[in-house]
């Protein structure tokens, strides 16, 4: 929301529709708190209400957490970054890598988090993901 030429974080009116469609939701720490405050629900209540299977919260250098709908929560650490260049998009890269490891590679949540954190750290260091790295081949050989 823009007010008096300043930008303020606000949850949009379409958030309910988006969460209803999501099996996995991702938010950074500030977005996570804004969403919870908007709905007035705990994370477990939010996930049950919208039938979200996994909720990923990225917290930059503090790692993050993944919670399943059953309430089981997994915290992960951020991977080491040698020389940071730009954190832009790191959370989105984390989510893409997480989903790939979870569902294409059939990894469990802790393993997917560790691998995704490493991929996000390389992004922050300026070692950006290439188009070839984005191609995912499943058992059928088809690209996803």
Listed as ranges, residues in the chain with pLDDT below 70 are: 131, 133-144
**Local structure of residue 28 (DSSP, 8 states):** E
Where exactly are the structural domains of the chain? 2-134
Q: CB within 8 A of 111, min separation 6: which ones?
A: 101
Instruction: Give the tens place of pLDDT for each residue, 34-68.
Output: 999 999 999 999 999 999 999 999 999 999 999 99
Please tell me the class of the 2-134 domain. Answer: alpha beta
Q: What percent of the chain shows pLDDT beyond 70? A: 91
């Amino acid at each position: 929301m823009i007010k008096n030429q300043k930008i303020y974080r606000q949850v949009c009116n379409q958030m309910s529709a988006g969460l209803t469609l999501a099996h996995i939701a991702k938010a950074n720490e500030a977005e996570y708190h804004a969403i919870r405050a908007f709905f007035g629900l705990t994370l477990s209540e939010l996930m049950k209400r919208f039938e979200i299977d996994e909720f990923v919260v990225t917290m930059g250098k503090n790692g993050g957490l993944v919670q399943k709908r059953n309430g089981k929560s997994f915290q992960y650490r951020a991977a080491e970054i040698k020389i940071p260049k730009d954190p832009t998009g790191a959370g989105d890269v984390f989510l893409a890598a997480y989903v790939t490891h979870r569902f294409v590679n059939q990894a469990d949540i802790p393993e997917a988090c560790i691998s995704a954190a490493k991929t996000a750290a390389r992004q922050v260091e300026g070692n950006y993901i290439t188009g070839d790295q984005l191609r995912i081949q499943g058992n059928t050989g088809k690209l996803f």
